Structure 1
Amino acid sequence: MTNAGINRRTMVLATAGMGVVDPLQAEPTKGAPVAKIIVGFPAGQATDILARMLADKLPAVTGKNYIVDNKPGQGGSLAMGALAKSPADGSVMMLTHMSAVATNPHMYKSVPYDSLKDFEPVGLLGDLPFVLVCHPSMPFNNVEQLVRYAKDNPKKLTNASSGNGTVSHLAMEDLKSRAGVEILHVPYKGSGPGLTDVVAGQVSLALETAAAVQPFVQSGRLKALGAGTTKRLSMMPNVPTIAEQGFEDFSAVTWLMLLYPATTDKQLVAGTFGAMNKTMQTPDVDARMRQIGALPRFSASPAEAAAFVQSEYAKWGKAVRRSGVRLD
């Protein structure tokens, strides 16, 4: 069979939703259709990095070209609103995260979408673990010492977050509540600006994704105090978890999922699901994900992903109500 024949067969399989092709058999060509992957955070953050990996790998399976469109603001909700209003023809999708789907609708007085009605879930892509870091000048090296210092110096410390309603915000509020300490929350539009201010010493702390903090920790510009996972991260094996430092069951991890607008054709959703899983579960991508601090996690089907959204929406609604956090 000629290369042209192979490419035609590849496109038929992808369109039919099978997604079973050799990535080396199909290379997008000039003039190929272009699809957009929306990200609710600035370029360079963990979600953006994974979206760009996806945009780089998908063309070999689908024959389309992909661009990443960053729309930061309101913890990902502005981007979700944009997706909800996008055409349901496969030209626009979003790599979203837990907060935008499951916590923001409960936390904000109004968001421009309905998480349960406005989207077609494709599938989970991975989990992003968070790590608590501080400026190197801070007089503590672990969570126990941080808590002691915060109690002796109430309201002296500050903590940055990626925005109101994000995991970096809610999980830190949970930690402060458990520890009985007062630390001023300073929200930013993404982890980048917040971490920049922590590195500069203008803010004391940040609970952010391992992918975002790793370069600063490696260069000595930030100190890692604890990981928000149940087990130590392979990329930071010497950093104890926050749970093993006296906060049992503490968790700061967010999941990532690919979404289409509601009413997108089910075969198209299934085709994208197959293409995403095939490209993102290759050994080189798996290794790269773990290298940046992402933990691969995939759905069994789009239906399972939709059921997961339903359960997470209910679960985090209860958590937000318990927290008492409510934003305009």
Structure 2
Amino acid sequence: MKQAGITRRSMVLAAAGTGIGSLAQAQIGKGGRVVKIIVGFPPGQATDIVARLLADKLPAVTGANYIVDNRPGQGGSLAMGMLAKSSADGSVMMLTHMSAVATNPHMYKSVPYDSLKDFEAVGLLGDLPFVLVSHPSLGFSSLQDLVRHAKAHPGQLTHASSGNGTVSHLAMEEFKRRAGVEILHVPYKGSGPGLTDVVAGQVSLALETAAAVQPFVQSGRLKALGAGTPQRLSLMPEVPTIVEQGFAGFTASTWLMLLYPAGTDRQLVASTFDAVGRTMHTAEVDARMRQIGAIPRFSASPAEANGYMRTEFAQWGEAVRRSGVRLD
């Protein structure tokens, strides 16, 4: 999204003032209704944290009450299927991520939804960068240490992921391909269980969101080896990027987007977009997002978000086909 577009949108929001809040309340908060925000991962993961931040802050703008409903499984696809079958009356939305929308439909033999037909995009909320971590007992201080060990002991190391088809899975497959190493993939239902096993020494590595790994790195229970971003993260400035360590152009990041079921009234989608904008464009929320390792990024409109979703679906479909990963 171009910065100029974000700036113009912020000015429009500021000029509109309470008018937008009134529109949001009229469209969303009728009678103090309850709105469910579905999340395709367990509590405590970055997506869940952002969803709970929305649930906490949106009532002041819309007058509605929000609850977070965690439905983990199949890298977010089970939750997407639930959203696709939900009523299009504004009572259910989902904070989803890139994998559930753009990679899982290409990777699994079948998923219970059509990414291009079953949803109305509200807008992007931000990006979640990933960091590669290892158990400290392995003694790795850099990616070079990891690659040397993996080449000397092929198939001995293991890596956890948030599930088949997630960024933590596909990006690690790309890293292994480029490094020319064999590391066994161990999928989990979310980053929490996987990182728990890495901390316990039962799994060697994990490529997971900065938000999820930061507490373990800070406490010394995990060693951060590289960030999957072009520049170092402000959350972990001491951690070199994977690019810095010889993997030019390598990135590992996922985006977050708010969706409604297809058929949701366009005025309701627009008012939700405005309400979320008012909520997210505050110093408090911006600081909290960055504190958990998220990088705020916003769509200029729901129409732009829908277009972005289609572009990502096509591009990641090509990436999945190149990876050769296919699941039943």
TM-score with structure 1 length normalisation? 0.92
- Give yes or no for the alignment of 1:162 onto 2:162: yes
CA contact (8 A) 1:15 1:267 kept: no
Q: Deviations over 1:206-231 (max 9, x none)?
A: 00000000000000000000000000
Match of 2:174 in 1: 174
Q: 1:150-229 alignment to 2 at 5 Å?
A: 150-229=150-229
Tell me, in whole angstroms, the C-alpha distance in 1 between the residues paired with 2:326 and 2:100. 15
> Structure 2 counterpart of 1:316, which letter?
W
CA RMSD of aligned residues (A): 1.6
- Give yes or no for the alignment of 1:84 onto 2:84: yes
Q: Deviations over 1:235-277 (max 9, x none)?
A: 1000000011000000000000000000100000000000001
Match of 2:250 in 1: 250
- Give yes or no for the alignment of 1:99 onto 2:107: no
Give the superposition deviation at 1:32.
1.9
| 3-state SS of paired residue (1:196) | helix
Poorly superposed stretches of 4+, deviation over 3 Å: 8-12
Give the superposition deviation at 1:13.
1.9
Give the superposition deviation at 1:299.
0.1
Tell me, in whole angstroms, the C-alpha distance in 2 between the residues paired with 1:87 and 1:254. 27
- Give yes or no for the alignment of 1:57 onto 2:27: no
CA contact (8 A) 1:290 1:296 kept: yes
Query: Pick from 6, 13, 17: which aligns with 2:23?
Result: 13
Match of 1:241 in 2: 241
> Structure 1 counterpart of 2:185, which letter?
H
Match of 1:70 in 2: 70
Match of 1:112 in 2: 112
Q: Deviations over 1:138-165 (max 9, x none)?
A: 1211111100110011111000000000
> Structure 1 counterpart of 2:121, which letter?
P
Q: Structure 1's 153 and 214: CA in aligned 2 closer, same or farther, altered over 3 A?
A: same
Tell me, in whole angstroms, the C-alpha distance in 2 between the residues paired with 1:162 and 1:186. 9
Tell me, in whole angstroms, the C-alpha distance in 2 between the residues paired with 1:12 and 1:55. 18
Match of 2:8 in 1: none
CA contact (8 A) 1:198 1:206 kept: yes
> Structure 1 counterpart of 2:254, which letter?
T
Tell me, in whole angstroms, the C-alpha distance in 1 between the residues paired with 2:80 and 2:159. 26
| 3-state SS of paired residue (1:182) | coil
Tell me, in whole angstroms, the C-alpha distance in 2 between the residues paired with 1:32 and 1:312. 35
Match of 1:271 in 2: 271
Tell me, in whole angstroms, the C-alpha distance in 2 between the residues paired with 1:9 and 1:195. 45
List alignment gaps of at least 5 residues for structure 2: 1-17
Give the superposition deviation at 1:310.
0.6
Q: Structure 1's 200 and 318: CA in aligned 2 closer, same or farther, altered over 3 A?
A: same
Give the superposition deviation at 1:16.
6.0
Q: Structure 1's 208 and 16: CA in aligned 2 closer, same or farther, altered over 3 A?
A: same
Give the superposition deviation at 1:12.
4.2
CA contact (8 A) 1:77 1:112 kept: yes
- Give yes or no for the alignment of 1:288 onto 2:298: no
Give the superposition deviation at 1:11.
6.7
Tell me, in whole angstroms, the C-alpha distance in 1 between the residues paired with 2:284 and 2:20. 22
Q: Structure 1's 86 and 137: CA in aligned 2 closer, same or farther, altered over 3 A?
A: same
